[in-house]
Amino acid sequence: MPPPINAGLHCLFLLVTACCQTSQDSNFSPFIQYIFDSPIGEESIQSEMQRQKRNMITFDFTLVEYTVDIEVSLMDSSSLELVKDYLKNLNLSVSTNISNVEMKVSNISVTTVCLPSGENSSCCSCESGYAWPRAVCGDLITCPSASLAPNLTCGYMRNVTLNGTYCEPQTAESCGMGEPIVMEMSVRLDQVFCDDLSNSSSDTYKKYKYDLETAFNASYRCLPGFVSATVTGFTPGSVFVNYEVKAGPASIKQIASANKILPQFLVPSYQLNPDTITRKITNQTNFTVIPEDIFEGDTVRLICEINSTSENVTWYHRDQIISTSLPNSTDRGTSRSILKIPNITMKNSDSYSCDFTNRNHQFQTLLYHDTKTITISQLNITRNVNNISVVCNRPEMQNNSSLLSCCIDKHLPLLTGVWKVNGEINITGDSSSTGNCIEYKLKINESLCPPEKSGTVTTYTCELETGHGARSSQNISVTYLWEANVKISSSVKSSVSEGYEFNLTCETDVRPYEDISWKIQSGKKPKTVDCDKCIINNSSAGTSLLKVNAATQDWKGTYICTVFHKYLNASASKTIEVVSLPLQQNILIDPVEAVIQCKVQQALQCCIKTSTVDYTVKFVVQQNEFEAVKTEKGKSTCYVYNHTEAEGSAGKKLTAYCKFINSIQGEVKSKNITLDVICGTKISCSGSIGIGREGDTTIKPCYDSNRPNSFTQGNITYKCSKKSWIPQRNDCLSEPISNLLSDAESLVNSPYQIEELPGYLEQLKNETEEEKNTLNHPANLGAIVHIIYMISSIPVKAESNTIHNFLSTVDSIVADSTREAWKDLNKGKEPKSSSLLNSIESFSMNLQPVNNNIPHVSVKTLQLQGIVVTENSTDYDKTFHSTENLTVKVLIGKTEVQTLNKTSTIVSVMYSNLGPILPRNKTQCVNGLLITTTVGSNKIQKFDINMTFAKKNPSLKRPQCVFWNFTLNEQGGGWDTQGCTATWEEDNYVNCSCNHLTSFSILMSPDTTSQGKVEDYITYIGLAISILSLVTCIIIESLVWKYVTNNTTSYMRHVCILNIATSLLIADVWFIVTASIKDQQMSTGICVVATFFIHLFYLCVFFWMLSLGLILFYRLVFILHNTSKTTQKAVAFCLGYGCPFVIAVITIAVTLPRNNYTRKGACWLNWEDSKALLAFVIPALIIVVMNLSITAVVIIKILRPTIGDRSNSQERKSLFHIGKSVAILTPLLGLTWGFGLATINKNSPRAFHILFALLNTLQGLFILVFGTLWDKKIQEALLKRNSMSKWSSQQTKSSSLILVTPMLAMSYPFSRTFNNLCGKTGKYRVSSSEPSSASSENTSKSYSLLN
């Protein structure tokens, strides 16, 4: 008998076979459960088989393969492994026949093993190769007795009755198969967080990670499709462990079950809190953002919704909590939360997260999480055009108006927009919307866009709104233009004579315009008019004046005026014909000046270079016209008239000229011919030059009949001497220089002068160098100077070659070989050297920078340097070196430079030869280089500049910093110190500081300091004595006034003496003021005022002396004539103050505007330049002569015998009084200023200077001694004031005249002095007891005056 277990297994096999059969016979589920309570018996098996057999139903089927699930229950779990081994070791396939049905069992496998676990449940597990079907995957709960051993199969809690759900062969559809998911989870350890847990390389971190991952893998390994559990990090807050579980989809219960058993796998010291296990669910939240397209300024709503209830919801922005609140639950068990962000900005962009927390599950907290990234854009508007221009008066613009539009790059259904108009021209339009654009069609109207408003910009603003709050605007600028209407008017109809002036005016209705150009088309291609001063534009008036001073053939053609405004231009044209006519300077006259005889023909001729044009030529002699005869002479055409003067014209000077008349009746006059008519006088000189008397001169043109082609400018002056004509002066130009002069005259009148100037400068330089040997001739040299003057005002580009050509020309004409010629040219009121310097300044100011640069150019004796002012300009610091090793440094501070307009130029030119050529005084010379500094494009009044000059001759002293003042000497120019100061001087250098710009240098002279010291000492000591004496004189006159003015003659004498003293005192005080001025030019105003008052009061001294002399003359000559005191006072004051004031005012009015009122370096009247000193010398000398004459008359009158004879003693006494008068008047009037007049001569002896200083400063002492103290009556009056008792007895005895004290004298002592000065006195009372007579009174008056 087999073992019971074997029997049981066989029975199990038969049972399987039977079940297979039954499955074929019926439709019911082949689920039969057998429980073996005892050892398996054959009987029981057979009886069961019989029961099955009876129930069999026979069908005839083809072979079909079936899988049959059989659940076998074993009461003893120890038999489980035996059953499994038995079935595994069966030798299959096995065929059997049951109920005539052939069956084959091909495989028997154990799929599911369940062990009892509790009363109504089992712990079931799948055998290897089998897995639970997906349908029950979510119901699998891990058995609570799961072991840590990772090799054990996971068991899941099942009901006792499996209801046919068993493990199946593992496929891709089985439970736990497929792509695993990652569950983010966290749990808290109730420990204190340590920093090592933040460091993944620390031992603590590694230990925690290992232990926790071991526990997590053990706890979650039975989750369906489990792969791994990994710790991702630790965060503080106790210790939060963040970990990830990678497994198949698991239900909440499954995870909770795994969480429940987690603590048993971890050491208790970790203090894991299972209630804090949290699982983040990221795929069950509906996160919505409204609107989808977000722009700055929108109001945005973020909506999170889950299909579950939630305790709270937390919102995060960039992982930072921004809101925590209760969710809004709905009736259907969902939770919703809305986050509203008004007026969103760019800083609100990036990620937003919402977390719903659900703690309703045991052993885990569910965190429903979702994240959205918000992208915020600016509401950028794209325009169809940026800025447009609209020409209002174009028909096509009105018929097809411009369309403005604003668009965005996305279609927004709620997009709206409006247009706003802002501008002086208010042209509106129609708005429309198309897709994502807002359009605006302009309605152009000429009436709203007048020409005077052309160029006006109107701003159109489109404002768009998204519908959610975002707004944006964009401006479109529309420039409204008016197409200009241009016309040209002319001062002439259609033609003009050569040499005549004419104007063209271009007018436009667009004002102001931007630019205007003139072109002349005389050939195929029009050329731009390129002259500096011939075009005068007035943009605001809409005009441009083309002014032609002298028409040449270059000016003929069609004139095109083009007006530019914005991008528009409009033109008009007019044709002008220039009819040939010779220019005056090109007409040669012969003779220029001549002597003619009466009734003798004199040939007068005018010649021009041969031309194909026929002119009508007439000679005009004393306003009488005569026809001329045309003759050809080589390449010249001459017109001749033989003039005969009548006999009655002897001694007259006739004026004649020829005039050329062209086809349009334009005429030009030649220069005048001067004819000196003689009749019946013997002729000394004759011949081809002409006739003349001895000493007569005649002037002939530079024309040689033997060389008819040598037609040059200039004249030759001949003088009749010893019966032959002797050339006295030759001003003929050499032919090349004459041609240069003619070309220069054409250039300055050319419409293309700026373009042609560089070429002419090159020609000028070459010709000048070739003619270098002829430049010592004043005429040639003067012509070159005049050429430079003419062309210097033309702007020219600052190119090295152009500047070099100009400087080389100047260098040639200031060479040492030309010094004698310069002496001749500097004669007269307008020195040519001053003109040359002015021309160079003008040239440097008119330099136009090239590439923002002024090049450094040097020639032999000149250098030019400069800069262009920019925003980054610093100091202007330039140093120049001459070939003589002299230097000059120019420094202009950054502050001054930055005050200039940008693109202005600062240009300096150094000269080593020009300084000595300029006129100077005899005692000073230029002792350094000459430097010119100019500023272009700026009109500046004050500009500080510092210069350091090296001395040419260190032995010279007294340096003066000077500039060349072109306005001095009647515009002839001269050295001036105004505004320039020598700030320091070293052995070989002088530093000058000036407050303006022009040409500078230093003047120095031999050391004369010691020579002037004696005069200075005499002046200051004598001046002190003089002032003290004058004050004493005035005081004495005030004290004795009432005692010495007891008659009219005495009264007027003391009035004169008092005013003489006062005037001289004021003059001396002003002299002290001038002595205190250390730098005359720094106190120019004070110096002028001081000079005026010194001049005035010195004149007052002389005129009061004249008044004194006239009073003497009147009282002695006109004895019987009696004039009132008031009349005499009025005449004296008018003469003493009126005449000097008139002379002084006229002097300053005439000379001050020309800057030659005062001397250079002294506050006194100028002599060298204006001869202003004569306004003092002449009146003074006249007064001296008059007073000397008066003195002579007085002497004669006194010496003439009278009716009564005088004794010898009386005669001697009269002579003595006369001698005293002469002794007083002579030093006061003549002697002092006689020496002063002598000192005007620079070569006068030094003794004259000393005597003048001595006498001039002691005039106050003279007046005190001879005018006051020497007067016997004053002496007596002073003695009487010292003895009042004696004065009283004298007063009682007096019976002649009693003096009444002058008014105000007793009350106001100072007023008494004023009264004395003005000649005021009291009334006279004549004693009735005294038989007065005219003779006695006259005798008293004469005595008083002479004493």
The 3 state secondary structure assigned to 155-182 is: CEEEECCCCCCCCEECCCCECCCCCCEE
Give the model's pLDDT for residue 872: 87
Ramachandran area for residue 969 (φ above 0: left; ψ -120 to 50: alpha; else beta): left
Q: Rounded to an integer, what distance in angstroms lies between the CA atom of residue 135 and that of residue 141?
A: 14
Q: What is the mean pLDDT of residues 933-957?
A: 82
- Among 353-367, 592-606, 928-942, name the one with the lowest average pLDDT: 928-942
Contact between residue 220 and residue 236 where contact means Cβ atoms under 8 Å apart: no
Give the model's pLDDT for residue 671: 92
Contact between residue 653 and residue 675 where contact means Cβ atoms under 8 Å apart: yes
Does the structure show a pLDDT above 60 at 1167? yes
Does the structure show a pLDDT above 70 at 229? yes
pLDDT band at 16 (very low <50, low <70, confident <90, very high): low
Average pLDDT, the chain: 79
Residue 751: how many CA atoms within 13 Å on its side-chain side? 22
Give the model's pLDDT for residue 1246: 56
- Among 72-81, 500-509, 1266-1275, name the one with the lowest average pLDDT: 1266-1275
Per the model's pLDDT, the better-predicted residue between 119 and 562 turns out to be 562
Task: Write out pLDDT tens, residues 1210-1230.
Answer: 333 333 333 354 446 555 555
Give the model's pLDDT for residue 47: 39
pLDDT band at 120 (very low <50, low <70, confident <90, very high): confident
Q: Which helix (DSSP H) or strand (DSSP E) does residue 950 occupy?
A: strand 945-950
Does the structure show a pLDDT above 70 at 63? no
Does the structure show a pLDDT above 60 at 322? yes
Read off the DSSP letter of residue 627.
Answer: E
The pair of three-digit structure tokens given for residue 536, joined into one six-digit string? 């005068």
- Among 177-186, 760-769, 1254-1263, name the one with the lowest average pLDDT: 1254-1263
- Cα separation values, 1209 from 1197, 1201, 1205, 1216, 1338, Å: 18, 14, 12, 11, 20
Give the model's pLDDT for residue 699: 92
pLDDT band at 707 (very low <50, low <70, confident <90, very high): low
Q: What is the mean pLDDT of residues 555-579?
A: 91
Per the model's pLDDT, the better-predicted residue between 377 and 148 turns out to be 377
- Among 299-303, 322-326, 998-1002, name the one with the lowest average pLDDT: 998-1002
Q: What is the mean pLDDT of residues 426-435?
A: 85
Ramachandran area for residue 1262 (φ above 0: left; ψ -120 to 50: alpha; else beta): alpha
- Among 78-87, 287-296, 1270-1279, 1332-1341, name the one with the lowest average pLDDT: 1332-1341
Does the structure show a pLDDT above 70 at 256? yes
Does the structure show a pLDDT above 90 at 60? no
Does the structure show a pLDDT above 50 at 58? no
Does the structure show a pLDDT above 90 at 804? yes
Q: What is the mean pLDDT of residues 705-724?
A: 78
Q: Enumerate residues 6+ apart whose C-beta is below 8 A from 784.
A: 737, 740, 764, 768, 775, 809, 812, 813
Does the structure show a pLDDT above 90 at 153? no
Give the model's pLDDT for residue 1251: 65
Task: Write out pLDDT tens, residues 594-605.
Answer: 998 888 888 999
Does the structure show a pLDDT above 90 at 857? yes
- Among 211-225, 260-274, 852-866, 1066-1080, name the one with the lowest average pLDDT: 1066-1080
Give the model's pLDDT for residue 1232: 58
Q: What is the mean pLDDT of residues 790-814?
A: 93
Q: Which of 1146, 1028, 1027 is nearest to 1095 (CA)?
A: 1146
The pair of three-digit structure tokens given for residue 575, joined into one six-digit string? 């044709």
Does the structure show a pLDDT above 90 at 1076? no
Tell me which range, 126-140, 192-206, 997-1011, 1121-1135, is most confidently predicted by mean pLDDT: 192-206
Task: Write out pLDDT tens, residues 648-665.
Answer: 667 788 899 999 999 999
Contact between residue 1346 and residue 1217 where contact means Cβ atoms under 8 Å apart: yes
Give the model's pLDDT for residue 617: 94
H helices present in 92-246, as ranges: 203-220
pLDDT band at 77 (very low <50, low <70, confident <90, very high): confident
- Among 444-448, 930-934, 1138-1142, name the one with the lowest average pLDDT: 444-448
Q: Rounded to an integer, what distance in angstroms lies between the CA atom of residue 392 and that of residue 856?
A: 52
Give the model's pLDDT for residue 199: 92
Q: Which residues pair with 719 in a beta bridge?
A: 697, 726
CB atoms within 10 A of CB 253: 17
Does the structure show a pLDDT above 90 at 889? yes
Give the model's pLDDT for residue 1000: 64
- Among 1108-1112, 1116-1120, 1267-1271, name the one with the lowest average pLDDT: 1116-1120
- Among 94-108, 499-513, 1088-1102, name the one with the lowest average pLDDT: 94-108
Does the structure show a pLDDT above 50 at 544? yes
Contact between residue 671 and residue 590 where contact means Cβ atoms under 8 Å apart: no
Q: Enumerate residues 6+ apart whose C-beta is below 8 A from 39.
A: 4, 7, 8
CB atoms within 10 A of CB 829: 9
Does the structure show a pLDDT above 70 at 702? yes
Does the structure show a pLDDT above 50 at 56? no
Task: Write out pLDDT tens, residues 462-479.
Answer: 998 988 889 888 888 898
Q: Rounded to an integer, what distance in angstroms lies between the CA atom of residue 207 and that of residue 209?
A: 5
Task: Write out pLDDT tens, residues 1300-1326.
Answer: 223 222 233 333 333 333 333 333 333
Give the model's pLDDT for residue 410: 82
| Peptide bond before residue 751 is cis, with ω within 30 degrees of 0 | no
Does the structure show a pLDDT above 60 at 483? yes
Does the structure show a pLDDT above 60 at 1327? no
Give the model's pLDDT for residue 705: 52
Does the structure show a pLDDT above 60 at 850? yes
Task: Write out pLDDT tens, residues 1120-1131.
Answer: 567 777 888 888
Give the model's pLDDT for residue 257: 85
Q: What is the mean pLDDT of residues 274-302?
A: 90
Give the model's pLDDT for residue 329: 65
Percent pLDDT > 90 in the chain is 25
Give the model's pLDDT for residue 1301: 28
Q: What is the mean pLDDT of residues 15-35?
A: 42
What is Dmax (Cα atoms) for the chain? 223
pLDDT band at 1055 (very low <50, low <70, confident <90, very high): confident
Residue 882 identity: S
Does the structure show a pLDDT above 50 at 845? yes
Does the structure show a pLDDT above 80 at 65? no
pLDDT band at 939 (very low <50, low <70, confident <90, very high): low
